[in-house]
Amino acid sequence: MDGWDAEIGGKLPLPKGPEVRLFAGYYDYDNPLGADFPGAKGRLEVKTGSWLALDVEVFEDEELNDTNYFVGFRLQVPLSGGLGWQDVKEGLFSNRHRDLDQRMRPEMVIRDVRVHTEDSDWQEDLARRQVIRSVSEKRSTKRVVLADHITFVDGDTSGPEDGTNEQPYSTIQAGVDEAGANKTIFVYEAGGTAAGKPGPADGGGIYDEQVKLKDGQPLTSSVSWSSHGSGTYATKNRPVIRPTTVTREGTDGDSLTIENNSITAAGRRARGVWVEAYGSENLSLTIASNTISTSQSYARGIWIDGRNSDNLSSTTTNNTITTNAANADGMRFAGTPTTAITNSVTGNNLSINGALWGIEIRNDTHNSFSIPDLENNNDFDLGATALGRVRKY
């Protein structure tokens, strides 16, 4: 075994008796067939005369030498003539201590040679191992459509368009037209990516179009689910629709949802979200968590027009609306004395920097609107020229 063995010691300062030296050491041997052998050791040497030395040695590891101690002696007899009994007696038994000069003179070199033989278990040469494998594989491909109630739109798409997440439509209106009633329209931000969806970095592009929704079509950039686990899939940034109007027209519809969009109404008299209900349809409307801004006069952030409808129910909540021109309202609700309109307006933030109202209610005698409730349940930030928070006439 390869390794090393070292010791250090010195003479004990005993005034009488034989010369005694004490040694301490350490050893470390590499065992190619098992655990290595490191450990401490100690040795006591008693020199009874110039010819005879007695040794006792102890080891920490018994497995190294099949014992943890050795006892022995060394006899060095000079081969010369003329030795008498007195010489032999002094060579074997003498209490005379050598001086430093005598102790520093070279002594015989003692080599500790211990040869061990051991049979090992079978050893494999991994470098020469050869493994031959035969693998056969059969694959089949089947396309499964998930979330078939959702039509996807991405303004950055190119190539075939079928409304799936892999091949979305390039315009919102194309997705609306092809999806049909009661389908969700999921809109990615133009120039961007969805959270967790590989693609280029967000570019802040916009959809420059006006959109007319069909019956029961939510327009959104976030969907959640609770079956097969639960989670939410959303765009990193909200899609921007400009110049713009999001409307819904038709008859005998039941619901309309517009949520999680960023809408900029840039033109004069533009409407960020404009819903106009007709006839005897029972329309349930939800406008939620949108960011809407207008920049020119006579614009409306949200306009819900129920003057031609017999039954309209709306929920407008958690929207952020900013106006930046004269004669522009944050929200306007219009009805008639005969229209059955039920409205819930809560949690909206309205920043009015023009000369009109945060919320304006027109031609509505229905008591579902309470001015104190509107003022208390929404946040208003009125500019110096704004007329007030709520107006009802």
103 Rama sector, left if φ>0, alpha if ψ -120 to 50, beta otherwise: alpha
Backbone angles phi, psi at 64, to 5 degrees: -65, -45
pLDDT given at position 254 = 65
- How far is residue 376's CA from residue 367's CA, in Å, rounded to a whole number? 17
- How far is residue 170's CA from residue 190's CA, in Å, rounded to a whole number? 9
pLDDT given at position 246 = 58
DSSP label at 214? Answer: -
- Between the alpha carbon of residue 372 and those of residues 19, 129, 345, 355, 386, the distances in Å are 111, 86, 12, 21, 18
Question: What's the pTM value of the predicted model, to 2 decimals?
Answer: 0.49
Backbone angles phi, psi at 313, to 5 degrees: -125, 130
Q: Which residue has the tokens 């104190």?
A: 372
pLDDT given at position 108 = 59
pLDDT given at position 110 = 59
126: CB partners within 8 A, 6+ apart: none
pLDDT given at position 112 = 60
What token pair was written down for 343? 């409205």
What token pair was written down for 258? 């517009």
347 Rama sector, left if φ>0, alpha if ψ -120 to 50, beta otherwise: left
Angle at CA of residue 325, ends 324 and 326, nearest 5°: 140
- How far is residue 71's CA from residue 58's CA, in Å, rounded to a whole number? 9
pLDDT given at position 349 = 92
What token pair was written down for 114? 């211990």
DSSP one-letter string for 153-184 = E-TT--S---SSSSS-BSSHHHHHHHH-TT-E
DSSP label at 49? Answer: S
Q: Which residue has the tokens 């406008």?
A: 287
pLDDT given at position 76 = 78
Which residue ranges of the chain lie beneath pLDDT 50?
193-204, 250-252, 367
